[in-house]
A and B are shown apart, each in its own frame.
Chain A
Amino acid sequence: MMRRDHCFEALARHIDGQIIVPVYQSAQQWRVAKPGYPLTFFSTGAMGQGSSCALGLALGRPDKRVIVLDGDGSLLMNLGTLVTIAHQGPKNLLHFVSQNGTYEANGGHPIPGCNQVSFAQLALAAGYRKAFEFTDLTDFEARIGQVLQEEGPVFVTLKIVAGDPPPQDMQFIHGEAARATFRAALGGP
């Protein structure tokens, strides 16, 4: 089984100028995989809202590729987002979900349907242009560069285990400094 931290390290090697929107546990590991990357949007707010934040950014900045690093528990809290995103059809949006079948930040309880749900199939049924599913790190490393070039909205399932526990810094994730850094990097107000 792939480790999420290893996947993010592989992804980080391809990131230069894209907006990254990581939710909670992914955000902590993304900070390790790509330290100080200023175009990281940490401020995803309430659980499940990362993909909606990413859609707003994708619509507001069509000149930028936007990559959301969602979680399976998070996506289940906002499944309608798949339909909303597909309806808007942003060509610059890539939606990754790390699927480990648990509410990782809430005690490790299993998500409903953890052994049967296919998020990639849900995304395709909602109207995403393409969907990919990765279970092997070598395969992911070989193909991620091409996947990142695809026209969105694209969905990518990473079937993972969490990997090394990252340093937890929720104050940074939710803090004004992270938003100010992102705002400045984006050239916003």
Chain B
Amino acid sequence: MTEHRPATITGADIFEQLLGSGIEYIVSVPDITTSEGLLWPLATTEKRFKLIRVCKEDEGVSICGALSFCNKRALLLMQHTGLLDSINAIRASACEYRLPVAMMVGLLNKEPDVPPRQSSHYGVRIVEPILGAMAVPHDLLEVADDAARIKPAIERSYSDSWPTVLMIGRRM
């Protein structure tokens, strides 16, 4: 018997959704989960977005928030460790100021097909509860069909002026 597993979400799937969502800037600190699928293409061949490399993820929260005042849409691409490091910036700029900060977060070391809350890795397990406590909507993207959730999440973030997190659960 042959087992058919759904295909893992790809960078191409994500780029098309981001373009359809009006994303112009991608702000990033490298994340190993999305390095090959997203960040390296952005740095080399994928020229439809403007890449802003930052030293620390909280800079990216502020940059994305400020760009929204200029009617520019942006995505902050980072690892979940960077998300955890940026909680105070998200609390202040995205939540208390009610700014649309869209984030794509690679879940380093999350086991395939294991829900983040059931990961054996403490840092992965706590991501969703923290986002829940902050009332930040979040979606898990692992397979190709999940890409369809990207555009609605980003549109909702900008229409509600509120942050959103798209978690990448498999290494691309």
The interface of chain A, by Cβ under 8 A from chain B, is 41, 43-46, 48-49, 52-57, 59-61, 78, 80-81, 83-84, 87-88, 174, 176, 179, 182-183, 186, 188-189
Give the complex CA separation of A189 and B22 in angstroms.
14
Chain A residues within an 8 Å CB radius of B54: 52, 80, 84
- Any chain A CB within 8 A of the CB of B66? yes
Across the interface, do B55 and A53 meet the contact criterion of CB distance under 8 Å?
Answer: no
- Any chain A CB within 8 A of the CB of B72? yes
Across the interface, do A59 and B93 meet the contact criterion of CB distance under 8 Å?
Answer: no
* Interface set, chain B 56-111, CB cutoff 8 A to A: 56, 58-72, 74, 88-89, 91-93, 96-98
Give the complex CA separation of A84 and B58 in angstroms.
12
Q: What's the interface size class on B, roughly?
A: 20 to 34
Point out the residue from B58, B72, B97, B98 that lies within 8 Å of A60, measured CB to CB: B72
Across the interface, do A189 and B71 meet the contact criterion of CB distance under 8 Å?
Answer: yes
Chain B residues within an 8 Å CB radius of A44: 62
**B50 nearest in chain A by CB position:** A59
Q: Give the residue among B61, B64, B69 with the most A Cβ atoms within 10 A.
A: B69
Across the interface, do B69 and A87 meet the contact criterion of CB distance under 8 Å?
Answer: no
Point out the residue from B25, B56, B64, B71 that lies within 8 Å of A188, measured CB to CB: B71
Across the interface, do B69 and A41 meet the contact criterion of CB distance under 8 Å?
Answer: yes
Chain B residues within an 8 Å CB radius of A176: 97-98
Across the interface, do B70 and A186 meet the contact criterion of CB distance under 8 Å?
Answer: yes
Across the interface, do B70 and A45 meet the contact criterion of CB distance under 8 Å?
Answer: no
- Any chain A CB within 8 A of the CB of B53? yes
Chain A residues within an 8 Å CB radius of B97: 43, 45, 174, 176, 179
- Any chain A CB within 8 A of the CB of B134? no
Nearest first, the 6 A-B pairs at minimum CB distance are A56-B66, A60-B70, A80-B55, A45-B93, A52-B62, A45-B92
Across the interface, do B25 and A46 meet the contact criterion of CB distance under 8 Å?
Answer: no
Q: Give the residue among B64, B70, B71, B97 with the most A Cβ atoms within 10 A.
A: B70
Minimum distance in angstroms from B43 CB to a CB of chain A: 13
Q: Can you give 15 A-B contacts (C-beta < 8 A)?
A: A45-B89, A45-B93, A45-B96, A49-B58, A52-B61, A52-B66, A56-B62, A56-B63, A57-B69, A59-B67, A80-B59, A84-B52, A84-B54, A188-B69, A188-B71
Point out the residue from A55, A81, A88, A186 that lies within 8 Å of B69, measured CB to CB: A186
Chain B residues within an 8 Å CB radius of A87: 53
Give the complex CA separation of A87 and B61 in angstroms.
18
Point out the residue from B53, B65, B71, B92 that lies within 8 Å of A56, measured CB to CB: B65
Minimum distance in angstroms from A125 CB to a CB of chain B: 14
Chain A residues within an 8 Å CB radius of B65: 43, 45, 53, 56
Minimum distance in angstroms from B67 CB to a CB of chain A: 5
Give the complex CA separation of A60 and B88 in angstroms.
24
